[in-house]
Amino acid sequence: MSPGTFFLLAAVAKIAVVWAIMLAALLPNLVWMERRGAGLIQDRPGPNRVGPFGLFQAVADVLKMFLKEDVTPLYADKLLHTVAPAILLVPALTTFAVIPFGSSIPVLGREVKLVIADVNIGLLYVLALTSVGVYGLVLAGWASNNKYSLLGGVRSGAQVISYELSMGLAAIATFVTAGSLKPSAVVDWQVQNVWNCIPQAVGFLVFVVAAFAETNRVPFDLPEAEAELVAGYHTEYSAFKFGMFFMSEYANMIAASAMIVTLYLGGWSLPFVPFTGVWGGIFSIAVFWAKTLAIICVFIWVRWTLPRFRYDQLMSLGWKVLLPLSVANLLAVAWIVAMKGPA
């Protein structure tokens, strides 16, 4: 088998693994998790009718989405109204291309790194995708030709752009220590040294808060603040298009959690545990997803615990607190690295 063919096959296999885990296993059940978690926190049962513990609720939801009537408002821009959810969903799903979801597995005598594309501009790739995702929100709001939608779209656009800065700057600090823009290099650095959440606690904090804002989750879910904007940018969406928004929200959440895990929580690694051989590789995958799931739980926990910010509070938090903090963090990290001299 030529290296080219092997590379191609390996890539396909990796994509299959990631999507299988994410789309088939994680995504539908997150809805169930969220609703059960909400029930737990709010001291009520939550969905418990469909299947054991209501576990098949996800299947029922998906079915419902497919079967409902797809309504497009009369004065909407039909093309953009249709495209917008896709624009939102695609970046969320493709972020995983650069996230290392495991160490490496020996297959047919070759080591296969468990990352779909280990490119050297990984971080920039993620940021670029995030910035494209904004279009989904803004266009959905604009195309609906509805004032609530428009306000929601503009709000979310501004919010995502604002927090993207802090998020990027916080993330850059981890790449400065690792000396590379490859996410896999960051994980390797953490394996050799220490998890970034300890030396870069400030950056970690900024990144997590910004991730909440980026995913439009409570306490930053102003674009869809139901009290003021009905449902924000997806007010005019129904059926499967609404389903895509729904999916993309959870996909974004998974992507953000995965980024947090990769950059700050050691990725697929565990301290003092070597990952070698086939089983080590598989175990590393499990570790990675377990960590991601834990972070997702934090997301859910926060959602049902904290109240929503006001819009001006959101903006001043982003520009006046997080941005200076992340810049200071970056400067401090860069200074320390520069003091240590070239690696």
Partner 1 sequence: MTAELLLFAFAAGLAIAFALAMVVEKTPVRSVLSLVVTFFGITVLAVMLAAPFIAAIIMIVYAGAILVLFLFVIMLLNLNEEAREKDSRPVQRVLGLVSALALGGLLLGLTLRAGKPPVEPSALPGRIPALDEIPLVGRLLFSDYLFAFEAVAVLLLAAAVGALILSRRRMD
For binding to partner 1 (CB under 8 A), which residues are involved? Answer: 77, 79-80, 119-121, 124-125, 127-128, 130-132, 134-135, 138-139, 142, 150, 153-154, 157-158, 161, 164, 181
Residue nearer to partner 1 on the CB measure, 84 or 244: 84
CB of residue 171 to partner 1, shortest distance in Å = 13
Residue nearer to partner 1 on the CB measure, 46 or 183: 183
CB of residue 120 to partner 1, shortest distance in Å = 6
Residue nearer to partner 1 on the CB measure, 152 or 219: 152
Q: How far apart are CA 297 and CA 308, in angstroms?
A: 18
CB of residue 114 to partner 1, shortest distance in Å = 21
CB 153 within 8 A of CB 223: yes
CB of residue 324 to partner 1, shortest distance in Å = 15
Residue nearer to partner 1 on the CB measure, 130 or 235: 130
CB of residue 259 to partner 1, shortest distance in Å = 16
Q: Please provide the DSSP assignment of 204-218 as one string.
A: HHHHHHHHHHHTT-T
Burial status of residue 69 (CB atoms within 10 A of its CB: 0-12, 13-18, 19 or more): exposed
Interior/surface letters 16-30, b for 16+ CB within 10 angstroms, e for the rest: eebeebbeeebbbbb
Residue nearer to partner 1 on the CB measure, 237 or 299: 237
Strands (E), the chain: 104-107, 110-113
Q: Tell me which residue of 121, 133, 117 sits closest to 253, measured CA to CA.
A: 133
Q: How far apart are CA 48 and CA 57, in angstroms?
A: 8
